[in-house]
Structure formats: structure tokens, C-alpha cells
């Protein structure tokens, strides 16, 4: 579906080029964010949308704007709003600072609300869910996410101060406010792909593997993920869209990045090995020199008198003796 934004600013419907975006912690985090917004786009066609962020906004708002009628990017950070306005502006996108969980909008104002990466930062998540339900139309759709506590069960409680939830907790929270709740697991995955050259890629069956060169294993178990994403509504039609979503790295940038990092790591290891070998050799040479000098001075005391006369300082000689003979008394 083509949005008004595309027809007004991109009449040939070419792929949009976006400004440089802030770098995330890694490829996995970047793909997680891109995948979640790509998934949310299926619900926003020609709709009035709110994109709610915590301390970051704009990147997803622009992506949603390609399909939506209008997008309001809302965040609790003035800096994030200013940055988004300068970097991710579009004719059908506006940005505003809000005091989450409160929203300055009337009841039933939005068709769709997208709230990714917000719940885990709130002490009382239900206050936000209640407010999002208020600003949604009666048959509106909420797309919301939270870190999966089960996936991080071996991690510290509340990584980086964030609140995690089990799937059952998340579902119970949302079902108190919405008649229909569909839960998905979400995360970045790696793998291979086979598709016909003559056809456009639309959908594919999902199969997983525990990667092992010596003992490969294929199955239908879902891959390991880090987050849970939910689609909520009181509309019956929501059930028609419960389908998986797969986002592919079209240009293999992740693989290229991994290869580059592998080369950097190998180069760093080589430099470290060379430094270690140099330091070890220097220590061995110094040890041999000290032992040789200690042997000569013990065997030929006349050299001690020569050093004493040349330097003429008793304190210095005592220091030399302590340094030379101290570590080697048992030689």
C-alpha cells in the first residue's frame, strides 16, 4: 500500500534513502529494531499512528510513515524529539515531547499505537497500557514489546535496570485491557536461504537448526529470541493477521561485518602474540645477563674493586649488590 508521503515526495516509488542514524550496540540490536518496526508496518496502512519511544524516536516513525497516513512520534526526552525533527523529518510525521505514561491526546485519537522499548523502563507498566487503550479508537491496534524474562533467565535480574516479563505475565497484563491479544517472540536470527530465481520472494516455511559441523540437526523448533512483541485489539478481524514475519539481510552486510571483525580480531591476536613473544624474549635475555654478571662478580672479585674505584660511591655499590645478588643467593 502506498502512502500519501510516498506519492507526494517519491512519485516513482523508489526505495527511500535515510539519513545517517545513531549506531546501536551491534548488528543484533539493529536488526531487532528494524524487524520490530517492519512487523508493525503491516497494521498501519493509511492509519493515524502514534510511535512512542523512551529516549529515542524518529527512526521507526519514518519507517511507519511510508505506509501510514500520519505518524506522531512521542518521547519523554526533549533531546530525542529535537534530534528526530532534524534527522527523520517527513511531511506526514510530527514529533512531540510527552511525560510518559501520560499522553496529551483525547480519547480515540489514534488508529494504531506502536510502543517498542518503552514498557521495560516504567515502574508501573499497566499505567502506560491503560493510557494507550484510552487514546486508541474502539477497534484500534496496539503493537507493544517487552524483553523476554524466560530468554534471559540466566542473566541478572532486570538487565541495565530494565524490567523484563514472562510471556504469561505480559499476556495477563494486556488481556486485562484488550479483548484479543496475539503474542509473538521476536529476535535476530542467522541462517541460509534458498528461493527460486524466477519468482518473487513472498513467504517460506520456517525450519531451524542447532549449528554443528560434526553433528548437524534440523527441526521445527523456533529459534532463540530475546523479546516478546504483542498485537492487541478489541476488533475480531485481528485474528486474520497472525502470521510470522521474516526480515532478510538483502545485501549481506551482517556477514560482511562479521568477516571484517574476524579479520580485525585475528590481526589483534597476532599483534598480541608478537608483543608477548618480544616481552618474554626480553625477560629471558635480561635474566641471562643478570646471572652472567652475578657469576663474573662472584668468580672474579677484582671486578668489584674496579667498579668501586670507577664510581666512588659506597651507597651506589650497596644498591648494585642488593639488586644483583639478592634474587640469586641460591644460584
The domain defined by 4-250 folds into: Rossmann fold (3.40.50)
Q: How far apart are CA 147 and CA 87, in angstroms?
A: 27
Q: Of 94-103, 181-190, 272-281, give the lowest mean pLDDT range.
A: 272-281
Nearest to 76 by CA among 97, 93, 91, 56: 97
Which of the residue ranges 115-119, 252-256, 279-283 would you say has the lowest mean pLDDT?
A: 252-256
Locate the domains of the chain by residue range: 4-250, 265-325
Local confidence band at 191 (pLDDT 50, 70, 90 cut-offs) = confident
pLDDT of 72 strictly over 80? yes
* % of the chain beyond a pLDDT of 90: 42
- Least-confidence region, from 75-84, 95-104, 169-178, 258-267: 258-267
Mean pLDDT, residues 246-250: 78
Tell the burial category of 192 from Cβ atoms under 10 Å away from its Cβ (0-12, 13-18, 19+). Answer: exposed
- Of 45-54, 59-68, 225-234, the one with minimum mean pLDDT is 225-234
pLDDT confidence tier of residue 17, bands split at 50, 70 and 90: very low
Average pLDDT over residues 292-298: 64
For 199-237, b where at least 16 C-beta lie within 10 A, e where not — what string?
eeeeeeeeeeeeeeeeeeeeeeeeeebbbbbbbbbbbee
pTM score of the predicted model? 0.68
Label residue 1 by pLDDT band (50, 70, 90): very low
Given phi > 0 = left and psi -120 to 50 = alpha, else beta, which region is 41? Answer: alpha
pLDDT of residue 331: 47
* DSSP 3-state of 249: coil
- For position 22, what pLDDT does the model report? 45
Cα gap 52→58, rounded to integer Å: 10
Are 46 and 1 spatial neighbours (Cβ–Cβ below 8 Å)?
A: yes
Average pLDDT rounded to a whole number, residues 275-284 = 78
pLDDT at 178: 96
Q: 28 pLDDT band (50/70/90 cuts)?
A: confident
pLDDT of residue 267: 77
pLDDT of res. 318:
61
CA distances from 35 to 39, 74, 240 (A): 6, 20, 20
DSSP label of 205: -
Supply the mean pLDDT for the chain. Answer: 78
Residue 2's pLDDT band, with cuts at 50, 70 and 90, is very low
Name every residue whose Cβ is closer than 8 Å to that of residue 263 and which is 6 or more positions away in sequence: none
Q: Are strands 48-53 and 70-75 parallel, antiparallel or unpaired?
A: parallel
Give pLDDT, residue 142. Answer: 97
Check residue 16 and give its pLDDT: 42
pLDDT(62) > 90: yes
| pLDDT-wise least confident of 8-17, 168-177, 201-210 | 8-17
In whole angstroms, what is the distance from residue 289 CA to residue 62 CA? 69
pLDDT value of position 226: 83
Maximum average pLDDT range among 16-20, 52-56, 161-165: 52-56
Q: State yes or no: pLDDT of 175 exceeds 50.
A: yes
pLDDT for 300 equals: 59
Nearest to 64 by CA among 41, 43, 36: 41
Amino acid at each position: 500500500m502506498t502512502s500519501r508521503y510516498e506519492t507526494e515526495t517519491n512519485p516513482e516509488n523508489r526505495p527511500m534513502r535515510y539519513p545517517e542514524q545513531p549506531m546501536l550496540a551491534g548488528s543484533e540490536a539493529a536488526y531487532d529494531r528494524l524487524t520490530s518496526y517492519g512487523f508493525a508496518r503491516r497494521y498501519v496502512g493509511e492509519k493515524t499512528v502514534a510511535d512512542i519511544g523512551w529516549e529515542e524516536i524518529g527512526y521507526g516513525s519514518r519507517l511507519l510513515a511510508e505506509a501510514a497516513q500520519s505518524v506522531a512520534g512521542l518521547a519523554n526526552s526533549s533531546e530525542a524529539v529535537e534530534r528526530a525533527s532534524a534527522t527523520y523529518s517527513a511531511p506526514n510525521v510530527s514529533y512531540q515531547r510527552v511525560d510518559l505514561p501520560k499522553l496529551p491526546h483525547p480519547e480515540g485519537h489514534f488508529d494504531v499505537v506502536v510502543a517498542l522499548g518503552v514498557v521495560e523502563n516504567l515502574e508501573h507498566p499497566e499505567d502506560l497500557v491503560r493510557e494507550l487503550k484510552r487514546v486508541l479508537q474502539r477497534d484500534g491496534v496496539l503493537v507493544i514489546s517487552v524483553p523476554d524474562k524466560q530468554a534471559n533467565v540466566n542473566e541478572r535480574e532486570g538487565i541495565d535496570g530494565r524490567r523484563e516479563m514472562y510471556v504469561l505475565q505480559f499476556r495477563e497484563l494486556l488481556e486485562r485491557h484488550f479483548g484479543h491479544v496475539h503474542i509473538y517472540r521476536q529476535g535476530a536470527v542467522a541462517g541460509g536461504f534458498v528461493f527460486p530465481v524466477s519468482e518473487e520472494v513472498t513467504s517460506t516455511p520456517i525450519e531451524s537448526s542447532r549449528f554443528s559441523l560434526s553433528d548437524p540437526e534440523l527441526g521445527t523448533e523456533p529459534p532463540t529470541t530475546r523479546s516478546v512483541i504483542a498485537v492487541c485489539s478489541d476488533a475480531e478481524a485481528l485474528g486474520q493477521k497472525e502470521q510470522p514475519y521474516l526480515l532478510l539481510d538483502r545485501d549481506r552486510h551482517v556477514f560482511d561485518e562479521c568477516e571484517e571483525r574476524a579479520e580485525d580480531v585475528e590481526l589483534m591476536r597476532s599483534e598480541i602474540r608478537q608483543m608477548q613473544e618480544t616481552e618474554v624474549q626480553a625477560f629471558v635475555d635480561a635474566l641471562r645477563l643478570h646471572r652472567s654478571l652475578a657469576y663474573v662478580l662472584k668468580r672474579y672479585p677484582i671486578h668489584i674493586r674496579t667498579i668501586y674505584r670507577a664510581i666512588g660511591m659506597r651507597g651506589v655499590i650497596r644498591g648494585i649488590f642488593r639488586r644483583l645478588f639478592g634474587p640469586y643467593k641460591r644460584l
